[in-house]
Chains A and B, each alone.
Chain A
Amino acid sequence: DTAVSQTPKYLVTQMGNDKSIKCEQNLGHDTMYWYKQDSKKFLKIMFSYNNKELIINETVPNRFSPKSPDKAHLNLHINSLELGDSAVYFCASSRAATTQGYTFGSGTRLTVV
């Protein structure tokens, strides 16, 4: 069983479209994260939710909106996609807003054309 699963694994879409990436964890963790990895493999945190509450919101365009329906799920919705949004997006989870048990998903490669 995959601990942190993301769907889809690949996403190719046109500029201006709206798309969502879904993430689910079955580790019983309270906290979930979204990271973005650019073409140079630099990883940077975007958001974090703890028990469905937003606790980290980095400087990210407001076209990006995370949603956590419950503590096992954290989805990322992106409006009006731009070329610069092309990247690999990683979901992660951990226990109680700490680094305990930090586990990453396998990533979603988003390509905007």
Chain B
Amino acid sequence: GESVGLHLPTLSVQEGDNSIINCAYSNSASDYFIWYKQESGKGPQFIIDIRSNMDKRQGQRVTVLLNKTVKHLSLQIAATQPGDSAVYFCAENREGQGGKLIFGQGTELSVKP
């Protein structure tokens, strides 16, 4: 069946440290991946995306790594701040699926001051 899974449901880091959130996907045909941040009481917000023809993509304080060999992607957040506390989701889209996003379970990131 379809699945995009996360290994760790919770992650606690110290402010200023780097955070790494992992995600595994099951379908080798997946060609587009997105990381979302969801704060309490809000909808998912786009953070960064990556296509399957890339291994790495960087944004402001965030980096996404894609390893197609083991069907794994990760989100790295540099110098984690209290405002980064949220639930993070990876989502997958496959060409021809009409904009359908398949979400992983989610990881709750807690930043300790």
**Chain A minimum-CB-distance residue to B32:** A99
Chain B residue numbers with a CB within 8 Å of A31 are: 98-99
Q: B34–A105 contact, CB under 8 A?
A: no
Flag if B101 contacts A102 (CB, 8 Å).
yes
Nearest neighbor of B38 in chain A, beta-carbon distance: A41
A90 near B101 (CB under 8 angstroms)? no
**CA–CA, A50 and B97, complex, Å:** 12
- Are B99 and A33 closer than 8 Å at their CB atoms? yes
Report the bound CA distance from A40 to B9 in whole Å: 10
Which A14-70 residues sit within 8 Å CB-CB of chain B?
A: 31, 33, 35, 40-45, 48, 50, 55-56
Residues of A within 8 A of B46 (CB): 102
Q: Are B43 and A99 in contact (CB under 8 A)?
A: no
**Any A CB within 8 A of the CB of B93:** yes
Closest to B101 in A: A45
Q: How large is the interface on A (under 10, 10 to 19, 20 to 34, 35 or more residues)?
A: 20 to 34
- Residues in B15-58 with C-beta less than 8 Å from chain A: 32, 34, 38, 41-46, 49
Cβ of B71 < 8 Å from any Cβ of A?
A: no
Inside 8 A of B93's CB, which chain A residues have their CB? Answer: 99
Most chain B CB within a 10 A radius of its CB, from A35, A41, A94, A98? A41
Is B101 a contact partner of A42 (Cβ separation < 8 A)?
no
Q: Which residues of A contact B98 (CB under 8 A)?
A: 31, 48, 50, 55-56, 97
Q: How far is the CA of A105 from the CA of B44 in the complex (A)?
A: 8
Interface residues of A in 97-111 (CB under 8 A from B): 97-99, 102, 104-107
| Across-interface contacts of A106 in B (CB, < 8 A) | 41-43
Q: Which residues 70-98 in A have Cβ within 8 Å of B in the complex?
A: 90, 92, 94, 97-98
Contacts of A50 in B (CB 8 A): 98
> Do A90 and B44 contact each other (CB < 8 Å), given the known contacts A40-B105, A99-B32, A99-B93?
yes
Residues of A bordering B, CB below 8 Å = 4, 31, 33, 35, 40-45, 48, 50, 55-56, 90, 92, 94, 97-99, 102, 104-107
Q: What 10 A-B pairs are tightest by C-beta distance, nearest first?
A: A104-B43, A43-B103, A97-B98, A41-B106, A97-B99, A55-B98, A104-B44, A99-B93, A94-B99, A106-B43
